Structures are given as structure tokens and as C-alpha cells.
Structure 1
């Protein structure tokens, strides 16, 4: 089968790879489009310790079953036997695996195999641009579920990429008000404005960062770090009100130093949010089918064969689009 293989930092190449074999309980999915996640870009740049060449990257997909039915898939496979899995926290499984991570080939290819229970049918009314958001949106559904924000909460988002945009749209639908978005990219901040952010601030300099603190006033009820950078993590704490919640979602690779002395005095509650459960994935898909979440105007599609160009575009010009899809088949 055709596959786009990560061969070295900053390099992907089209190669012929063996077609995966489905074991008992698995099914084969013919991939139509694969989504490019920020973690794929991190791997492409050589910044991910869990993504070493040679590897087929990617974990987001829209495809078809062998009988032609159109599907999306939950790429996070858990064991089903450990304490976490039995309690319904499959995202905390002792031995979870993710497509496109470690030694597991990903979705930048013609075929993948997954357990049948990980595969969800989607209606033809849902476009690929909408359906490809099922996996990233599941992260946001999970985050909001465990945070359980108060009614009419003030919300700040640090990082205006795909996750930040999805968090904004989802939060507005459950009653968020006075939403602030901060980033260092003006193009992405302009998109956040269009999506409904009350205020946006470019925090590329010390003076601009002070503007964000000024906009915070007494602080936000919930502050989401959707970036993962060291500076973003500290800013998330700076923007949070006394007694508020700081949510760490961004999976950056940098070590961070946070002024916890101030946070202790403010009784900040820190929530770590990782991935999602099958319940979150199902709710994410339901939101998309209902037309509640849509980033289509800011989604690009390029053929798999132009994968090098697509990865460079998203890594070098991140404001050009919120989402990149690789077209694998029609």
C-alpha cells in the first residue's frame, strides 16, 4: 500500500508498505482522508521522543469499511483489563497504544486496522472536513467533562491552534462568557475573533503579555493551556482568578517552571487532561453530526503525495489554516 513515511527530522517520503493484517476482532479501514495533528508536526520536526523514524504518522481518519460504509475511528486502543479500563478511564490504560506512535503505523497510509469497537459510522451528510474533527474534539469534550465549569464561566484560552479553537466553540455552547484568547500569531487570533472570542491578545512581547493580564481583571474562572509551551503554562496561572481552575491540555516537550507560591496563595486548582474515553469520542461525534462545531472555512486539503509540502506548510506557516487534511483516496 502507499504510505507517507517519516524518515528523518523534517522529512517524509512516499513509500510502499505492507498492507496491515486484521486479527480476530479487528477490521480494516480504507482511509479517505487523514488529519494532521499538532503532535504529528512535533514528530515531523523531530521533537517527539515517541515518534522515531521510520514511522507512518497520523491518528485522525475518515474512511470506509470493507462494505463501503463511511466511518471515523477512535485511534487510542486500550487493553480493557487494567483497573483504569475497568473503571471507564480507558485514556489512563496501563498499556494504551495510539496509531502513529511508537511502533504502531498511523493513518498517513491507504489502510489501518483497529478493533471493531473503535470504529463509528458517520452519515453522508457529514463532510470529511467536519468528520475529521471527531478525534481532536473528543479531547475537548473530555476536558470540559472533568473540569465541570460553573454556569456562565469566564474562560481564557492560551494557544489559538486547532485545540484552542475547538475549546472556544465547545465552551460557548455550554455557557462560557467573556472568552479571552491569547497567542503569538495574529492570523490565528483573528480566526478566534470570528469564532466568538470576546477579546484576543498577541502575547509575543512583555508589553503585550501585560495587556492580557489587564484584560483578565480579577482573573478567569477556567484557564486552558492548549499550547504546552513553558511560557504558556505560566501565563495560564497568571490569568486564573483565586479559586479558579488551570487546565493543562497542551502536550509540549519543554520542562516548565511555574510560580506555584502565588498559585498556592490563590488556591488554584490544577486539572491535567489527557486524551479521551470512548464516551467522549461518541459525544464528540454527536456534536459534529448535530452541526454544533465546524472549522471548515479554516481547513485545507492536500493529496498524500504532497505530504512534505503539507507538513512544512503547517510547521512554518501555522496561521494559514487551523486544520490540514491529507487526501489518501476518493
Structure 2
């Protein structure tokens, strides 16, 4: 099968790879659409970071060269002898994260886990083989193209859940790249009344308005904290930090009301100084969110199906697998108007 394989820094090659054998509890999926994640871009541009290069991953036994990709939808091609829930032709999405299952759903994702596209071969390929437990059916009224957004939406939906966003809340989102945009979608779905979005790009902020932000502000020449405090003197109910820099980290804490929630969603590439007294004197609750619970993954399908959900502005480009480097990675790096780029593989809509 054709696959986009990461060999090392700025070295991704589209080549032939063998399809993994289908075990008795496995489902073989013909990939239809797969999205390029910021993690994929980081692995290409400045990595390998999470992909093992010097020795095999302790849980999967795999290492680079590795097929990238973990956001995808597809059609069942074959099932193992013990599989009862799926049959050939079923339309599905796959949760790419495998956890130990030894802990409660709320914390299992923080123990031993591995992910397709990072620790084992992923979805930038014609076929993907998954355990039946990670496969989720999608209803007929959800296109396979849009279903490829379930995974990144799940990341945002979990962060919104961790922030305890409820009906009528005011939420601030710092950074409106793809996950920030999905955070706005998820906050709206959770019932947030006011959603404030902050970024340095007017193009991204325009998308933020389209997907549900009630107010936006370019922070290049404006103070987000002052903007928020003028409207909400005690602060917002929750802030999501999705930019990954100290400035937005500090702003999120300063903008949130006492006992409100600040959830760090972004991956911070650099260390910075932080004095915990900021939390002591504000009463803000600081936490982080990684990945998602399996139930959140499934519920994200319902968010996408909701008639009030608009994710079309996030889908900015569709490309072919052989163009993943130039039209995918390079486009995301050089064009801020790009958000989510989908790779068409199987062709089904």
C-alpha cells in the first residue's frame, strides 16, 4: 500500500509499505480521509520528538521509519474472526490512542499509552488495522470527510470538559489554530454563552467568529486581559490556553475569575519562569488536558452532527497523499490562512 513515512527531520517519503496482518480481534480499515495534525507537522519540522528513532518504543516495539497520521475516517475492509460489531462496508472512525485500561477513564490517558502515527504506524496510508475496541461506527448523516475531524475535535472537547464549562459560561480561548478553533466549537456545544477568542492572526480570528466565537481580539497591539476585565471585571469562568507561549499562559490566569478554571491544552516547546503565588492570590485553578477519554471521542461525533455546529471554516484544504510535504506540511508552515488540511486517500465522501 502507499503510505507517507517519517524517516527523520524534514524527511517524509511516500512509498510502498506492507499492510499489517489482521488479528482475530482486529478491524482492517480502508482509509478515506486523514487530517494533518500539528503534531505531525512538529515531527516533520523539528522532530522526531515522540517518534522513536534510537530504539523501539517500549509498548509497540516500533520505531522510525514510521507512517504518520492519527486523525482519520474510513470503511471496514476486513474483520478478524472474533469481531462481532463490524462487517465489511461499515463506515467508521478510529480512536488512535491505546491505553492500558487499568485505570478509570478520567485518568487512564495519563498512564501507559501509545498512539498511532507516533508510536506505531498511522493513517497516512491506504489501510489501517485497529483493535475492535478502538473502532467507532459513524451514522449515515455524517460524511466520511467531516468524520475525519472527530479526533482533533475530541482533544478540544476533552479540554472543555476538563475546564468544567457549563451552560451560560463565559470562556476565553487563547490561540485559535486548529485546536483553538475546535475548542470554540466544543465550548459552544457545551453551552457557553460568551466565547472570547484571542490570536495574532486576523485570518484565524475571522474563522473563530465563523465557528462560534462571540468576540475576537488581535493581541498584536491589544491587551487581552484589559479587554476581558473591562467587560467581565471578576474574570471569565474558564480559559483555554492553546497557543503554547508564556504570554498567553499568564494572560489566561490573569483573565479568569477566582475558582475559575485555566486548562493548558497547547504543548509548550520552551520552559519559562512561573511564580505559583499568581495562583494563590487569584484563586484560579490551573490544570492541563492531554488526549481524551473514549467516551469524549464518541460524543464528538454528535457534536459534528449537530445542525448548530459549523466546522467548514476549519477545513481549508484537501490534497492527495503524494503531495503531503509540499501541499501539506509546507503549506501549514507558511500560510496562516490554513487550518485543517485533509488528505484524500480512499475517495469516499
- TM-score with structure 1 setting the length: 0.90
Using the TM superposition, give the Cα deviation of residue 171 of structure 1 relative to its aligned residue in structure 2, in angstroms. 1.5
Unaligned runs of 5+ in 2: 54-63, 78-87
More displaced 10-residue stretch of structure 1: 92-101 or 262-271: 92-101
Q: Which residue is 2:130 aligned to? A: 114
Using the TM superposition, give the Cα deviation of residue 94 of structure 1 relative to its aligned residue in structure 2, in angstroms. 3.0
CA distance in 2, matches of 1:186, 1:160: 10
3-state SS of 1:23 partner: coil
Q: Which residue is 2:92 aligned to? A: 71
Unaligned runs of 5+ in 1: none
Q: Which residue is 1:266 aligned to? A: 282
Q: Which residue is 1:61 aligned to? A: 72
3-state SS of 1:235 partner: helix
CA distance in 1, matches of 2:74, 2:330: 25
Structure-2 change in CA distance of 1:91 and 1:44 (3 Å): farther
Q: Is the 8 A contact 2:159 2:240 kept in 1?
A: no
More displaced 10-residue stretch of structure 1: 260-269 or 195-204: 195-204
Q: Is the 8 A contact 2:178 2:314 kept in 1?
A: no
CA distance in 1, matches of 2:206, 2:227: 17
How large is the RMSD of aligned CA atoms in angstroms? 1.9
Q: Is the 8 A contact 1:32 1:329 kept in 2?
A: yes
Moved over 3 A (4+): none
Q: Which residue is 2:80 aligned to? A: none
Q: Is the 8 A contact 1:181 1:201 kept in 2?
A: yes
Q: Which residue is 1:214 aligned to? A: 226
Using the TM superposition, give the Cα deviation of residue 228 of structure 1 relative to its aligned residue in structure 2, in angstroms. 2.2
CA distance in 1, matches of 2:72, 2:8: 23
Structure 1 position 315 matched with structure 2 position 326: no
Q: Is the 8 A contact 1:11 1:308 kept in 2?
A: no
Structure 1 position 88 matched with structure 2 position 109: no
Q: Which residue is 1:161 aligned to? A: 177
More displaced 10-residue stretch of structure 1: 269-278 or 190-199: 190-199
Structure 1 position 98 matched with structure 2 position 115: yes
Aligned length: 320
Using the TM superposition, give the Cα deviation of residue 232 of structure 1 relative to its aligned residue in structure 2, in angstroms. 2.4
Offset from partner CA, 1:186-223 (integer Å, 9 cap, x none): 2101111222323222223xx42x2x122111221101
CA distance in 1, matches of 2:105, 2:194: 34
- TM-score with structure 2 setting the length: 0.86
